[in-house]
């Protein structure tokens, strides 16, 4: 179990570098293990009114022109 915790901590540290460079200072994460989908919200309650899906399986969620979240399909494979 300790080895897994160390791996998890190292993975989170890798992500930290990118997260602190983000213009969004509050980030909420939800992971649906059954669907293997990671939801990232830049607001506590995401209220997008349109989305765009890229060929990479990442969905960008917008409210008007403001990016309010991401949906990452097949998250564990990235």
Tell me the per-residue pLDDT of 28-77, one tens digit each, with 9 for 90 and over.
Answer: 999 999 999 999 998 888 789 999 999 999 999 999 998 999 999 999 99
Q: Global pTM? A: 0.74
Angle CA 20–26–28, to nearest 5: 105
Q: Which two tokens stand for residue 57?
A: 């399986």
Q: What is the DSSP letter of 59?
A: E
């Amino acid at each position: 179990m300790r080895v897994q915790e160390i791996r998890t901590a190292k993975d989170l540290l890798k992500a930290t570098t990118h997260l602190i460079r983000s213009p969004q200072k509050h980030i909420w994460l939800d992971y649906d293990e059954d669907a293997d989908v990671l939801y990232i919200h830049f607001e506590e309650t995401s209220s997008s009114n349109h989305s765009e899906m890229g060929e990479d399986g990442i969905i960008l969620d917008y409210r008007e022109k403001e990016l309010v979240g991401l949906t990452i399909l097949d998250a564990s494979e990235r």
